[in-house]
Structure 1
Amino acid sequence: MAYRTVLVGTDGSASSFRAVSAAAALAGATGATLVLACAYLPMRESTRAAAADRLGELAYKVSGSTPADDALRAAREHAVAAGAPDVVLAAEQGEAVDVLVSLAARHGADLLVVGNRGLNSLAGRLLGSVPSGVTHRASCDVLIVHTTDGGR
């Protein structure tokens, strides 16, 4: 089966960029569109006000979708370097699992790619991690990329 649309989640971390690179290489090899997805949560008003006081006119850089947009721009560089021919950026407010599953459905993704970070943590086992959550809820194939340094 050839994948036509591959969606990968990123939060701007180095480990998530490993998943982006893997997804981009796969998209490049199959000629698929790569959708880079980033979920973000709204900033509490007290936190936003404190940031505005400290950062002044630069406060926009830490509020709203700006951090997610910045993460997506950085992820695009990794994706292009890894060979993705067609890259789409998608930032959406919400919890990571909800956003990834929703965006995968909306974009008609054949494959959803996430990193394994969180699978082996106590919090991940008790509360559910992003990789675990998407494997249970996605209606497409899911690829979990080994993105952490431990265990290899």
Structure 2
Amino acid sequence: MMAGYIVVGVDGSAPATAAVEWAAADAQRRGLAIRIVHVGEQQWPHGETIECRAGALEAAADRARRLTRDVKVTAELLSGHVITNLIAESESADSLVLGSRGLGGFARMVLGSVGTAVAGHAAGPVVVVRAPAVVQHGRIVVGDDGSEHSEAAMAYAVEQAGARGAQLHVVSACQMPALSPYAVNYSSLMESALRDEARVARERVIPWRERSPGLVITDDQPFEHPAIALVEASRTADLVVVGSRGLGGFASAVLGSVSRGVLHRVHCPVAVVRPRAKARP
């Protein structure tokens, strides 16, 4: 994971404030700086002025400073296209943190086109925060299917769990397709294939345990839809981590049905992780 700073996108909304609070705690734990940005497009809604935007930005920065110790906090008011600016900010940042909904340029941030584009194209992890945490469970949940994207998600989840002193729970869900009641032999074959898939998933966790001996890592291979499994696991999690795309049940994990189910129904913050682009020789 890249060192340096966390970028937080704000707009004065309650979810954006929750995003600032989440980023402040994460920066404090992991020894990172915080960069807070407010992106203003040409058409400003609700009679908003540059003074209003500057005030919302400074309030967010003050909030981050009050919640941290010895964490560098900077803030900048940007102009231009929201998606383009946020994706550009993600290029050199450790992660990008956003509220689940917002005002102005951040309207429908997660559940609309802006959030989908940012989560699907940002250079690194995008953390989506709905509201301030009320209860700490001491557990991070990560979805794994063996793809390159879930590998990046696992790495981020391990880092988060280690920084928090939390347990890590790996969910590798698979779902049996609907079959005709007459397809008895095929059903038996599918059950055998699912058992093999679960065994392979358990084996994928072993190297992570070996590399992180001080971390408690549990795993589960439920035979159900991945989104359902992750949402259920999120009830007792402080963070759910998914790859931005995957294989099998996690295909198009963020831009498809799984991600939509998770983002609409999850009970805690969600981190969407893409593998970092490899530097050219």
Q: 2: CA distance between counterparts of 1:67 and 1:109?
A: 25
Asked whether the 8 Å contact 1:24–1:79 carries over to 2, the reply is no
Q: 1: CA distance between counterparts of 2:146 and 2:228?
A: 18
Corresponding position of 1:56: none
What secondary structure, in the 3-state scheme, does the structure 2 residue paired with 1:17 have? helix
Q: Indicate whether 1:93 and 2:223 are aligned.
A: yes
Q: 2: CA distance between counterparts of 1:132 and 1:148?
A: 23
Q: 2: CA distance between counterparts of 1:137 and 1:84?
A: 32
Corresponding position of 1:144: 272
Asked whether the 8 Å contact 1:7–1:35 carries over to 2, the reply is yes
Asked whether the 8 Å contact 1:20–1:75 carries over to 2, the reply is no
1:5 corresponds to which of 128, 139, 142? 139
Q: 2: CA distance between counterparts of 1:18 and 1:79?
A: 16
- Alpha-carbon spacing, 1:10–1:134, altered in 2? closer, same or farther (3 Å): same
Q: 1: CA distance between counterparts of 2:187 and 2:276?
A: 32
Q: CA deviation at 1:132?
A: 3.1
- Alpha-carbon spacing, 1:50–1:130, altered in 2? closer, same or farther (3 Å): closer
- Alpha-carbon spacing, 1:17–1:10, altered in 2? closer, same or farther (3 Å): same
Q: CA deviation at 1:32?
A: 0.7
Q: 2: CA distance between counterparts of 1:148 and 1:49?
A: 40
Corresponding position of 1:113: 241
Asked whether the 8 Å contact 1:33–1:86 carries over to 2, the reply is yes
Asked whether the 8 Å contact 1:11–1:68 carries over to 2, the reply is no
Corresponding position of 1:36: 170
CA RMSD, 1 decimal: 3.3
Q: 1: CA distance between counterparts of 2:227 and 2:214?
A: 24
Q: TM-score normalised to the size of structure 1?
A: 0.71
Q: 2: CA distance between counterparts of 1:12 and 1:134?
A: 19
Q: 2: CA distance between counterparts of 1:48 and 1:68?
A: 16
- Alpha-carbon spacing, 1:82–1:14, altered in 2? closer, same or farther (3 Å): farther
Larger fraction in helix: 1
Corresponding position of 1:81: 211
1:50-106 deviation per Cα after TM superposition (whole angstroms, max 9, x unaligned) = 68xxxxxxx94x233x3123213313423552576110111111111011111222x
Asked whether the 8 Å contact 2:205–2:219 carries over to 1, the reply is no
What secondary structure, in the 3-state scheme, does the structure 2 residue paired with 1:39 have? coil
Q: CA deviation at 1:116?
A: 0.9
Corresponding position of 2:154: 20
Corresponding position of 2:262: 134
1:25-68 deviation per Cα after TM superposition (whole angstroms, max 9, x unaligned) = 111111110000011122655545668xxxxxxx94x233x312
Amino acid at match of 1:101: V
- Alpha-carbon spacing, 1:69–1:148, altered in 2? closer, same or farther (3 Å): farther
Aligned residue pairs total 135
**Percent of residue pairs bearing the same amino acid type:** 29
Q: Indicate whether 1:63 and 2:194 are aligned.
A: yes
- Alpha-carbon spacing, 1:80–1:95, altered in 2? closer, same or farther (3 Å): same
Gaps in structure 1 of 5+ consecutive residues:
52-58
Asked whether the 8 Å contact 1:33–1:85 carries over to 2, the reply is yes
Gaps in structure 2 of 5+ consecutive residues:
1-24, 27-135
Amino acid at match of 1:27: A
Q: CA deviation at 1:134?
A: 1.0
Greater C-alpha radius of gyration? 2
What secondary structure, in the 3-state scheme, does the structure 2 residue paired with 1:92 have? coil
